Every structure is written in C-alpha cells, then in structure tokens.
Amino acid sequence: MPTLPWTVPNTPPDGIEVHVFASRFETRTLWGALKFLAGTPAVWRQVSRSPGAYGATLKAQPFKRTFWTLSAWESKAALRDFVRSGAHGPAARGLAPQMADAAFTTWQAKSDELPLSWSEAMRRLS
C-alpha cells in the first residue's frame, strides 16, 4: 500500500496553531497487518468527515508490519472526539491484541506549515 496523500477534510484558517498527532504501529503478525489494512478505508472515510480535522496521511509497510499516521487537528478535543467515535474506536479496540509496539507524539504547528512533513514526524517518533 503506498502512502495515502495528505488529505484536507477542513481548510484551517491562516496563521492559527493546530494540534499535530503522529503515530507508529507495529503488529505482531502479518495477519495483524492485514487486519489493520482491512480497517483503513472506514477510518479514512471517518477522517474525511471529521469536524476539526485539518489534514491526515498514512504510510504503510504491511510486509514489515509497520504503519504510521500523521494528522493535524483544530484542537486536542477534536482529535479525542475522532478517536472515540465512528469506525476508529472499534478498529483500535479490535487491533489492540495484534499490536507489538506503538509510539505516539503530539506537538503544535502553525496552519501555514501544512501539509506536515513525514521527516519531522519520523524524527519526533524516534
């Protein structure tokens, strides 16, 4: 699966601070990676309709059982609402037993810095 391009569900106002979230997930097995991929379309549709979502992308290396997400949000609350609703909640709970490792990071950025760079996300996740 190639990297999903930066998608902009809602255009942020110029010059505001946005809440950035990056994650890395490693599954225990290839089966876990396939389950992650199977849930991706529904979660991606949810992102595209989420209030407060200013951008998102996904990078996948399923044969290495590793996935990264990078997104920008209006606020921590907007991200929290996304995580707890729609397809994301059941998908995350269903994948929890399949996870070998996960890393998460957040930071603030200016809206005019969007789209965010993968190199910055990878640096912050390491």
CATH number, domain of 36, equals 3.30.70.100
Percent of the chain topping pLDDT 90: 98
As for how many domains the chain has, the answer is: 1
Task: Look at residue 2 in the predicted model and tell me its pLDDT.
Answer: 74
Which residues lie closer than 8 Å to 88 by C-beta, 6 or more apart?
A: 43, 46, 82
Which residues lie closer than 8 Å to 34 by C-beta, 6 or more apart?
A: 62
Percent of the chain topping pLDDT 70: 99
The pLDDT tens digits of the residues spanning 81-100 come to 999 999 999 999 999 999 99
Going through the chain in order, the beta strands assigned E by DSSP cover: 4-7, 17-27, 53-61, 66-73, 99-110
The pLDDT tens digits of the residues spanning 59-86 come to 999 999 999 999 999 999 999 999 999 9
* Domain extent for 10: 4-125
Average pLDDT, the chain: 96
Rounded average pLDDT over 104-117 = 97
Query: pTM for the whole thing?
Result: 0.94
